Structure 1
Amino acid sequence: MQITLIAIGKTDNPELAKLITLYEKRLKHYIKFQFLIIPDIKNSKNLSEAQQKEKEGELILSNIQPADVVTILDEKGKQFSSMEFSQFLQKKMNSGLKNLVLIIGGPYGFSEQVYQRSNGQLSLSKMTFSHQMVRLFLVEQLYRGFTILRNEPYHHQ
């Protein structure tokens, strides 16, 4: 299985980018992982929130294949403990899935078309985080999930 993480816009904070890269490298010891960054929409100040979500949605959907299983990060999504998230990953791998696509939306969320294409929704917390911080939290949780599956000492209960 491959995991593809799609996010809108580059990470502006160099410290965050460095940590994300650290966990990306660690994660690649367990699974094929791709981090796809879709560039910010140009002239977005001239667009309404709905128009920006539509344009971002078109770009997101153009990077998804028909056979991909898509999970979007959404505040209304299912919440997991780290142990439950590792079981979620194991079930996806056991199902013979080729590519699990996780999507972090832009600052206004997702277009209706992206919601319709998704196969599920995941929430990291009831709290709201910046979409840049969520990248770090998600790659760290992916790494943690795989260390749990391998019974490695990273996660403590």
Structure 2
Amino acid sequence: MKITLVTVGKIKEKFYTDAIGEYSKRLSRYCKLDIVQVADEKTPDSASEAVERQIKDKEGEKILSSIKDGVYVIALAIDGEMLDSVELSEKINGLGIGGVSQIVFVIGGSLGLSDAVLRRADYKLSFSKMTFPHQLMRVVLLEQIYRSYRIISREPYHK
């Protein structure tokens, strides 16, 4: 299985980079992992809703241009479905058994995802009703994908 993360913006803090590197290394036993970073757009202070929508749309175009046809897309969205770790592992495993060879997880920028990206998604996943920094979300998502593969492989994991 190939897992791709398409994310908006660069990682700025070394501790996030280190954590992403660690989970990328751990995941290499289970899948091929790619992380694609698209540039974020500058959001002016006190931007109007129209300006924010334009920014999300621009970021969305960059995201969509990074996604190939025929891949299964999971968008991280507050209004998505909340799964526990076992359910996420079952989702990933079920997709693989069903013939999906690549899953693309999409993490939006600080304003979230455009409507076009959400429409392209085959599935919307929520980690919480809370909003998280998108840099931290990369670490959390990679940890949960790693945990999923540990569960699928019937290897020990912390409950």
> Which residue in 2 is equivalent to 1:9?
9
Code of the aligned partner of 2:19: L
Is the contact made by 2:39 and 2:59 (CA closer than 8 Å) also made in structure 1? no
Q: How far apart are residue 44 of structure 1 and its match?
A: 4.3
1:7-156 maps to which residues of 2 (within 5 A)?
A: 7-41=7-41, 43-45=42-44, 48-153=51-156, 155-156=157-158
In structure 2, runs of 5+ residues without a counterpart are: none
Give the length in aligned residue pairs: 155
TM-score using structure 2 length: 0.92
CA distance in 2, matches of 1:73, 1:20: 17
Secondary structure of 2:44's aligned partner: helix
CA distance in 2, matches of 1:114, 1:68: 13
TM-score using structure 1 length: 0.93
Deviations 1:14-72 (A, max 9, x none): 1111101100111111011111111223x543972111101000000101111011110
Q: How far apart are residue 75 of structure 1 and its match?
A: 0.6
In structure 1, runs of 5+ residues without a counterpart are: none
Aligned-residue CA RMSD (Å): 1.4
Code of the aligned partner of 1:66: D
Q: Percent identity?
A: 38
